[in-house]
Structure 1
C-alpha cells in the first residue's frame, strides 16, 4: 500500500520540480540550438534576416569610392533565409536562400541565389558568393565557383564558445569561376580564377541602432588581398586594389546587424524572424 506524503512542503516541492522539468523541456524544444553552437551567427532552419540600405558616413564612403570606381547599383532590399541545416559526417551544412531586390527604371528586379555554408565547432566556412563572405549581396552577375580550395587550418569565421573572441585570423582560398548574367540581364562575361586571402580582425563592441533594434555588436573587419585572373586571350591578371576593406557588425543570438562593403554600400537589419522574435 502506498503511503501518502505527510509533509505538504515536500509534496509541493515535488510538484514544483515536475512542473519546472516539464516547462524546461518545452522551452528547450521551442529554442533549437544554432548550427555548430555558433551564437554569433545563429543559423537555424526558418530564421530570416532582411536588410535595407542606409547612407554610410561620408568619410568611409569617400574612401570606398577610391577603391570601387565603377561600383554597382546598391540593392533596395536583401533577404537571407535559412532553408535547411543538415548534420553530415564531421560537419554541418547550412543552406541559405539569398534574395536581392533592386529598382531598375521603376521595375523591381529580384535576384535569388542558393548558397551552402559549412561549420564545425567554433568555425564557419562561407563561399565567396554569399552575403556573409564580405557583406556584399549577390546580384546581376551569377558567380559560379568551381574547384574551391581552402587551407584546412583556415576558416571564414573563427569563434570561441560560439562567440567572436578571437582577435585576428586568416583565410586563404582559390578556385575557378564562371560569370553568367542573371534573369533577363544580357551580359557576356569571361570567367577566370582567383587566389585570395581574407585578413579578418575583430574590434571592440559598439552600440549599433537599426530599425529592428539597438545592439552591442562586435565589428569584424575583412580585408581582401590577392589577385583575379580573367580568361581572356591572353589571360589578364588583376591585383585586388589596396584597402579593399569590408566590415560586418555581429550581435550574439541575432547575427549580422550592419555591414559596410568595399563598394561603398551600407546595409542595416530592418526586420528578422528569429524563432519567437519577429
Structure 2
C-alpha cells in the first residue's frame, strides 16, 4: 500500500456481488448510508517521535445523497495511520480499517491501547504475504448530533477482534482498470456496549460481519465488498498533478497489470 503526500484515491459506489447482498439481509437495518463517492487523500507523511515509526495523515471525504433528496452532502474527516517496518496501523474510523468510509452516521471513535505486536496490516517484503493475522481492538465511540441540534446521542465502548485472511491473486476489473490483486477477507467479531440509562447494555457484533478488500501492488485497495451490501471500486488514482491531467486508461501504470 503506497502512501506519499499528495496521493489520492477516488472510489465510487457500484452494485454489490450477490454473496454480499445475501449477507446484508442478515444484518440489522441500521446500516451506514452508502456514499455515492468518496476520496482519500494523503495530506502529510512525517517521522514520528518514536524511532522507526512514520505517521501518515489522511483526509477522507464522503459524498452522500440523503434519501428523498437531490442535494449531495460532503462529509470530511481526518484519520491517522502509523507505519513501521513490515506493518501498518490504521485508526478505527478510517476507510482502511474495514473498507467502510466513516462520517455518514457522525460517530467519533477513539482506540484504546493495542497489544504489542498486533497491527492492522502485516507485510513481508513490502507486500501482503502473511496468510492470516488477528488484531484485538478496544475503544470508545460517541455519536455527535447534527450541526444546530442540542441532543445527547449514544456513546459506549468497543471490544472487537479483527480477523484478516489473505487469498490467492485474482484478476479484478474495476472502473480504473484491470489488475492482479490480492483479496483480503476482514471479519469482525466481538461486542459493543452502549452507555444507556439506567444501565449499560452489551450487544454482540452480528454474525457474518465482514469486508473483502482487493489490494493491488503500487496502488492499494482497488475494490471493496462488505456485509452492509456496499461495494466500492477505485475510479481514479492520483500520484501527482500530472496524473490528474491524464487519467488512467485500462491497466495503466503504476500498478502491475493482470497477466
**TM superposition score normalised by structure 1:** 0.81
- The whole-number CA distance in structure 2 between the counterparts of 1:182 and 1:85 is 31
Of 72, 88, 95, the residue aligned with 2:57 is 95
Which of 167, 180, 184 pairs up with 1:203?
Answer: 167
How far residue 133 of structure 1 moved from its aligned partner, in angstroms, is 0.5
The Cα offsets for residues 33-91 of structure 1, whole Å up to 9 and x where unpaired, read as: xxxxxxxx101100000000111122321112212433232110110000000011221
Runs of 4+ in 1 over 4 A off after TM superposition: 182-188
RMSD in angstroms over aligned alpha carbons?
A: 1.7
Secondary structure, in 3 states, of the residue corresponding to 1:74? coil
Q: How many residues align?
A: 238
> Is the contact between residue 68 and residue 262 of structure 1 (CA under 8 Å) also seen in structure 2?
no
How far apart in 1 are the matches of 2:150 and 2:213? 32
State whether residues 143 and 154 of structure 2, in contact with CA within 8 Å, keep that contact through their aligned partners in structure 1: yes
Q: What whole-Å deviation, never above 9, does each CA across 1:193-220 have from its counterpart, x for those lacking one?
A: 1111100000111111112111101011
1:118 is aligned to 82
1:151 and 2:108 are equivalent in the alignment: no
Cα distance in structure 2, aligned partners of 1:185 and 1:200: 39
Partner in structure 2 of residue 257 of structure 1? 222
Residue 93 (structure 2) aligns with: 129
* Structure-1 residue corresponding to 2:179: 215
Partner of 2:255: none
Where in structure 2 are there 5+ consecutive unaligned residues? 248-259
Q: Are 2:13 and 1:50 aligned? A: no
Residue 253 of structure 2 is matched in structure 1 by none
1:114-149 Cα distance to aligned partner (Å, 9 max, x none): 001111011011111000011000123333233522
Q: Does the Cα contact within 8 Å between 1:111 and 1:182 map onto a contact in 2?
A: no
Match of 1:242 among 168, 189, 207: 207
In structure 1, C-alpha distance between the alignment counterparts of 2:229 and 2:114, rounded to whole Å: 28
The structure whose residues are more often helix, as a share, is: 1
